[in-house]
Amino acid sequence: MALKANAIAPTYLHRSFFTPQAPPLPPIKRYHRYNTHIRLRCRSSLVDEQQKEVVSFSEPEKSLIEALIGVQGRGRSVSSQQLSNVEQAVSVLEGLEGVRDPTNSSLIEGRWQLVFTTRPGTASIIQAAASVKDGKRILFQFDKAAFSFKFLPFKVPYPVPFRLLGDEAKGWLDTTYLSPSGNLRISRGNKGTTFVLQKQTEARQNLLLAISAGKRVDEAIDKLISEYRNENKFQQELLEGDWNMLWSSQMETDSWIENAANGLMGMQIIKNGQMKFRVDMLLGMRFSMTGTFVKSEDDTYDVSMDDAAIIGGPFGYPVEMESRFKLQLLYNDGKIRITRGYNNILFVHLRVGEPKQV
C-alpha cells in the first residue's frame, strides 16, 4: 500500500490504509501551491461529518493556534520570536496527556491540513510505502517523487533514484500529540522536523489561508466578522503597534507613490495618536507619510495624512501630498485588524511588532 507525502494536497488518514489486503482507491487529484498538505491514500473518510462540527480547542491548544496566527507560508516566513512561541506551545502540548496510541485511534482518521512545519518543503509529491510500528510511529520508505507546478499541466519527475538509496530513503514519523477532540495533531520526523496539522481551522486561520490562495477573501472576512461580533470579542479601538498590510480589496494602481500614500502597501504604524504609512524602497530609502486620527463614532475615525517625505539615511525630501478619509474598524483582536478606509477600500492588517517611534 502506498503513502503519499504531498506538499500540496490534503492528508487522509485511516487505519485501514495499513491493512495489506485492502484494495487501493484512486487518489484525489486536487492541488494548489498555497495550501501545503500531506496525503495518504485511504478507504474511507469522516470529512463531511467533521466539517459540520464546531471547531473545539483546549486552552493549551488555543495557545498554539494563537502562536501560529501571523506565521506565513506554514513556516516559510517566521520571526525568531514567533518560532520560539510556537516551539513553546508545541512542547507544552507534547507534555500533556493526549490520545494514547494515536495511530491506533479512530480520531486520527480524516483529512489533515498542514499549518506549520519547521522545514517548509517544495511543491513536490513523494510516494512511499508505509506501515505502523507501534501506537505512535509510522515507518515509511520513499519510492518516487515529482514536482507539481501551478503553471504546468503535468508533473515534473524528481531526479532521485530512491530505490538505489537503500536506508537513506527510509524514515519514520511519530505522532507526539493527538487532541482528544481529534482536531489537532503534532508529529515529528526522523530528521527532526516538526509538523502541526489540523482537521478544522478557525475563522482567522481561514482568512489568512484565503489571502494566501487569493480566493474567497471577502467571504472569509464576512465570516470572521460575524463570528467574533457574536462572541463579543471585537475591540473598537485602534491599537498601537506595527501593522503590516496583507490584503486590500483594491488592486494597486500604476502610481507607486499614490499606492504608498493611500496605504495600499507597506506598514502602518500607530503610536501616540498618530498614524504613519511606511514603505521600504531600494538602497535603504523609504517613503513615509504621517498624520493624525480622531475617533468620531464608536467604530469610526477621521484620519488626516499630510506630512509625506522620501527618506534616505539622515536626509529627507518633502513630498506635497494630503489625504483625508474615514477609517471604520470592522474587526480587531489585537493581532488581525480589518478596516474600511480610503475610498471605501477594505484592508486586512497583521500586527507584526512592538510600536516604533513615529
pLDDT digits (tens, 9 = 90+) for 195-215: 999 998 889 999 998 998 888
Closest residue by Cα to residue 99 from 11, 175, 8: 175
In terms of pTM, does the model score above 0.85?
no
Residue 36 has pLDDT above 50, yes or no: no
CA dihedral 44, 189, 104, 116 (to 10 degrees): -60
Closest residue by Cα to residue 237 from 291, 191, 186, 298: 298
328 or 76, greater pLDDT: 328
Q: What is the CATH number of domain 238-353?
A: 2.40.128
Confidence (pLDDT) at 318: 94
What is each CA distance from 119 to 208, 250, 331, in whole angstroms?
20, 34, 32
Three-state DSSP class for residue 17 = helix
Three-state DSSP class for residue 245 = strand
Query: Would you kindly state where each structural domain of the chain is located, as residue ranges?
Result: 2-198, 238-353
C-alpha cell at 68: 501560529
C-alpha cell at 261: 500614500
**CA–CA gap between residue 309 and residue 319 (Å, rounded):** 5
Confidence (pLDDT) at 121: 64
Residue 138 has pLDDT above 60, yes or no: yes
Instruction: Residue count of the chain, please give it.
Output: 358
Residue 77's identity, in one-letter code, is S
**CA–CA gap between residue 119 and residue 169 (Å, rounded):** 18
Q: What is the pLDDT of residues 72-101, one digit of tens each?
A: 778 887 888 889 999 999 999 999 989 999
- Average per-residue pLDDT in the chain? 79
Residue 297's identity, in one-letter code, is E
292 pLDDT band, cuts 50/70/90, is: very high
Cell 530513503 maps to which residue? 169
Closest residue by Cα to residue 293 from 243, 226, 233, 232: 243
140 pLDDT band, cuts 50/70/90, is: confident
Contacts of 38 (CB under 8 A, 6+ apart): 4, 5, 6, 7, 9, 11, 112, 114, 195, 197
**CA–CA gap between residue 70 and residue 77 (Å, rounded):** 9
